[in-house]
Amino acid sequence: MTALKSRVASPFAAIWVATLLLFVISPFVASGSLGHSALQGMLPFAGILAIAAIGQTLVIQQGGLDLSVPGIFSMGAVLVVTIPGGSEGSLIPALIVVAAVGLAAGLLNGIAVTRFGITPLVATLGANAIFIGVVIQATGGSIAFKATKNWQEFTADKVVGIPILAVIAVIVTILVALFISRTIWGRRFVLVGSNPLAARAGGLSVERYQIGAYMGAGLAYALAGALLSGYLQSPPLLPGNEYLLPSIAAVVLGGTALGGGRGSVIATTVGVLFLSQLEQVISALGAKTAVEYLIQGAIVALGMGIRNVPWRRILPGRAGADDSAAADPPTRQPDTQTTSHDTASGASRIASQ
């Protein structure tokens, strides 16, 4: 019962409820927005966004913010097409290079933030400009090839009728969630994000974990870009531009604290599902572009803002009740999905494991 209460009270529960509600009302608000065809059209893009957003979650959980999504995403998209140049045999090496470049780009971000103490906002913004410059310089302004047939077919494939891109996103989500909640490195990762000082006092190399978060994020963006290339067959030059804001919005809607510490990749993926279905409903309603942006913006702002309302003060009856969703805590809470730790004692316990 206590476990159930704690789950319901979890800051990550809100997005589950909101998404469930959205799916329930979708067919009534906009007929066809929940049909087979609509879901088949929505899920692959949701899958790609989810993978990118998982990367963003890792960084935000470490108290950072990654604005280099467009650059790294676009590098992944371009590399997976230009390295093979239409030759099927070069696909695997291309994917290895995509992964390596994603990791290297993340390393660059991580070093800039940790070693040079540059604010994540500035460091990743600058790095993004470099990555975009590299893409433009390397391609000369246009992509000369289509994705290889194998990659096109793989990304358009279905597993038991479900688009493979959505399946991949679910697998990545589960693996990352398990890693964070079930491994020592994962628990230490959470500790470093929630209280770097305590982690350092406990003997952990904070910078290593922070750099690791940026590298994991870089890998996720590059992979997402490569998958989009295959799915679109002929990707545009900078497809990552469309993924920056939604990736941050999904993370925040999911309940991950912008200040770091509290985070859940599962909730982020549900946040992506919410955003994607919302787009589908608005589009099915035939809203004009401006209205579409307004509704999306308002819902995202509401979703983010509602967490910052001081509910305890407004609703006296709720004092002492759950309000972990209210206001990003000044001292970060080191809980992921279900577990929470007392920072001081948790720090030494996890560090000593």
Partner 1 sequence: MSARPDRSRVKGAALLVLVALLAALVLSACGGGGSSSSSTSESSGASEAEAEETSGGEAEEESGTETAAAGAKAWCGEEGVTLGIQDGGGLNNWSKESQEQVQMTSKECPAVEKEIVVDADFEPQKAVSGIQSMISQGANAIVIIPDSGNCAEVPAMRQAMQRDITVVAWAADPCGTEGTDYTKYIDWDTKAAGREWAEWVIEQMGDKGKLLYEGGPAGNTVSSNAAEAIAEVVEEHPNVELVEPISAEEWPVTNWDPAETKKLTAAILAKHPEINGLINDYGASVEAELQAFQAAGREIPATAASESNALSCTWKEEKEAGHEFPLMTISSRNWLGRYAAQYAIAEASGGTPPDLKNGGIFSLGQWENSVSGKEPECRPEESPEASFSNEMSEEETAKIALEG
**Interaction site with partner 1 (CB under 8 A):** 31-33, 35, 37-38, 40-42, 45, 75, 78-79, 82-83, 86, 94, 97, 100-101, 104-105, 107-108, 111-117, 130-131, 133-146, 156, 207, 228, 231-239, 242, 279-280, 283-284, 286, 288-290
Buried b (16+ CB within 10 A) or exposed e, 67-104: bbbbbbbbbbbbbbbbbbeeeeeebeebbebbbebbbb
Q: Which is nearer to partner 1, 176 or 278 (CB)?
A: 278
- Considering the complex, what minimum distance in angstroms separates the CB of residue 196 from partner 1? 9
Q: Which is nearer to partner 1, 250 or 265 (CB)?
A: 250
Q: DSSP H helical segments within 256-332, as ranges? A: 265-284, 289-305, 311-314
- Considering the complex, what minimum distance in angstroms separates the CB of residue 332 from partner 1? 16
Q: Which is nearer to partner 1, 142 or 353 (CB)?
A: 142
- Considering the complex, what minimum distance in angstroms separates the CB of residue 164 from partner 1? 12
Q: Which residues pair with 284 in a beta bridge?
A: none
Q: Indicate the pairing of strand 162-163 with strand 158-159.
A: antiparallel
- Considering the complex, what minimum distance in angstroms separates the CB of residue 144 from partner 1? 3
φ, ψ at 256 (rounded to 5°): -70, 130
Q: Which is nearer to partner 1, 221 or 231 (CB)?
A: 231
Distance CA 278, CA 62 (A): 28
Q: Where do we find the tokens 């590299």?
A: 134
Q: Which is nearer to partner 1, 64 or 255 (CB)?
A: 64
| Residue type at 183 in one-letter notation | T
Distance CA 211, CA 149 (A): 36
- Considering the complex, what minimum distance in angstroms separates the CB of residue 11 from partner 1? 27
Q: Which is nearer to partner 1, 141 or 317 (CB)?
A: 141
Angle of the 244-254 helix axis to the 36-61 helix axis, nearest 10: 80
- Considering the complex, what minimum distance in angstroms separates the CB of residue 212 from partner 1? 15
